[in-house]
Amino acid sequence: MDFKDVVMQRYACRTFTSETIPESKIDELLELIRWTASGLNLQTWRIRVVRDPATRQAIAEAAWGQQQVANCSHLLVLCAVHDVLGQTEKLQKALMASGLSEAESAQRVGYAKKMCAQMPPPALVKFADQQVFLALGNAINGAKSLGLDSCPMTGFDAAKVAALLGLPEGIVPTALCPLGYGAGGPTPRMRFAAEDILI
Amino acid sequence: MDFKDVVMQRYACRTFTSETIPESKIDELLELIRWTASGLNLQTWRIRVVRDPATRQAIAEAAWGQQQVANCSHLLVLCAVHDVLGQTEKLQKALMASGLSEAESAQRVGYAKKMCAQMPPPALVKFADQQVFLALGNAINGAKSLGLDSCPMTGFDAAKVAALLGLPEGIVPTALCPLGYGAGGPTPRMRFAAEDILI
């Protein structure tokens, strides 16, 4: 599906049919998310796919009762990895596993470490969170490109969602993305005029 | 261009040819950005397109000398609008201009205002910033879909860039996106294994 069609046809879907997405499509979508652009290639995201209806209902309650969390087929919980320096270690191992020499891997990781060292802890957390929104963009555009509907959401109690999913400390739910097949078709969309977004 | 091809072919381009992007393509790209998903539809972004080489060189210097800012064809400076409540007023006017009744517009805007009222000022700023990263995602994917290359960047001195561009207070440079035609082809990309991003 052409990217322009994706952008123009995607909408925030709040009611899904009861149809379940095949797992092969979820895998395809995760692949599109995996290749999201990533600052310093640190990929400071982790994703939980929630299939269990009872868990989704509990998460909906931690999201001001927004029913698209419960009535979707699959729920993605996109988490930020707040231990950004830990990701540099992970990156070094992954680069070497990809066939890069130890010296070249160390050089790339050294640059990432240097940039991280310049950021105070709140800036590192902000950096980690920002990457999740790039991943969320690929999730919602990717979903539409695969014939799925989605709803990007940030209105929820992150601590409650983390507790419900038993997430370790430092893996912080940052965006929810219910997925499924939209019931009733797209709602009308509106954007500010082109000249109003320029400055 | 199919979204999967966009995702797999996009890369962070650090060297551009001297070719200038036609303005019609820039307009097409801005349209893809304009329709980015937006929390509460508040579209808390504003974009400056920098065409002047001297200004781009000055911004490169405020971005630790990263030369893709200077050697690109066009530079997008994606700014967050920190006056989120002000955007609710703008939304009301735009909804009515789109043909929605005053009552229906007021109802939608009322919901946005209620959600904003629950956020303390730092959360509102965070919210505004997050939306910019969704827009950045559409910018870089959109660029590739139009045959352009790009480089998402957050490493720069926002206050200096704001001063260079004469931006008003509350319009905060949040991401840079140099655009052009990549010289030398894509650099090899690596991502963590699929199982390593799940949790």
* Percent helix / strand / coil, chain A, rounded to 5: 50, 15, 35
Mean pLDDT of B24-39: 98
Alpha helix stretches (DSSP H) within chain B: 3-9, 23-34, 53-61, 68-71, 84-97, 102-117, 121-145, 158-165, 194-197
Report pLDDT digits (tens) over B160-180: 999 999 999 999 999 999 999
Instruction: Tell if the CB–CB gap between B127 and A152 is shorter than 8 Å.
Output: no
pLDDT confidence of residue B184: 87
Instruction: Tell if the CB–CB gap between A197 and B49 is shorter than 8 Å.
Output: no
Nearest to A31 among B100, B140, B194 (CB): B194
For residue B32, name the pLDDT band (cuts at 50, 70, 90): very high
What pTM does this model have? Answer: 0.97
pLDDT confidence of residue B186: 87
List the 153-182 stretch of B: residues with Cβ below 8 A of A: 154-155, 167, 171
Q: Is A43 within 8 Å of chain B by CB?
A: yes
For residue A39, name the pLDDT band (cuts at 50, 70, 90): very high
Architecture of domain B3-181: 3-Layer(aba) Sandwich (3.40)
pLDDT confidence of residue B14: 95
For residue B35, name the pLDDT band (cuts at 50, 70, 90): very high
Provide the edge-to-edge strand list for the sheet that holds A74-81.
A45-50, A74-81, A171-180, A149-150
Enumerate the β-bridge partners of residue B173.
B79
Mean pLDDT of B72-88: 97
pLDDT at A33 over 90: yes
Please give the Cα distance from B114 to B128 (Å, whole number).
16
pLDDT at A185 over 90: no
ipTM: 0.96
Instruction: Tell if the CB–CB gap between A33 and B79 is shorter than 8 Å.
Output: no
Report pLDDT digits (tens) over B106-164: 999 999 999 999 999 999 999 999 999 999 999 999 999 999 999 999 999 999 999 99
Nearest to A7 among B7, B98, B138 (CB): B138
Q: Is B63 within 8 Å of chain A by CB?
A: no
**Average pLDDT over all residues of chain B:** 96
Please give the Cα distance from A112 to A94 (Å, whole number).
14
Cβ neighbours of B4 in A, within 8 Å: 32, 145
Nearest to B155 among A10, A41, A115 (CB): A115
Q: Is B194 within 8 Å of chain A by CB?
A: yes
Q: Is B14 within 8 Å of chain A by CB?
A: no
Report pLDDT digits (tens) over A94-135: 999 988 888 989 999 999 999 999 999 999 999 999 999 999
Residue A96's closest chain B neighbor by CA?
Answer: B190
Task: Check: CB of residue A70 under 8 Å from CB of residue A64.
Answer: no
pLDDT at A188 over 90: no
Cβ neighbours of A98 in B, within 8 Å: 190
Q: Is A197 within 8 Å of chain B by CB?
A: yes
Name the nearest CA neighbour of A89 among A119, A44, A129, A121. Answer: A44
CA–CA min distance B18, chain A (Å):
24
Nearest to B10 among A37, A47, A191 (CB): A37
Residue recorded with tokens 């210097």: B61
Please give the Cα distance from B138 to B186 (Å, whole number).
19
Taking the domains of chain B in order of start, what are their residue ranges? 3-181
pLDDT at B187 over 90: no
Mean pLDDT of A51-59: 98
Helix axes A53-61, A158-165, angle to 10 degrees: 160
For residue A55, name the pLDDT band (cuts at 50, 70, 90): very high
| Superfamily name and number for A3-83+133-184 | NADH Oxidase (3.40.109.10)
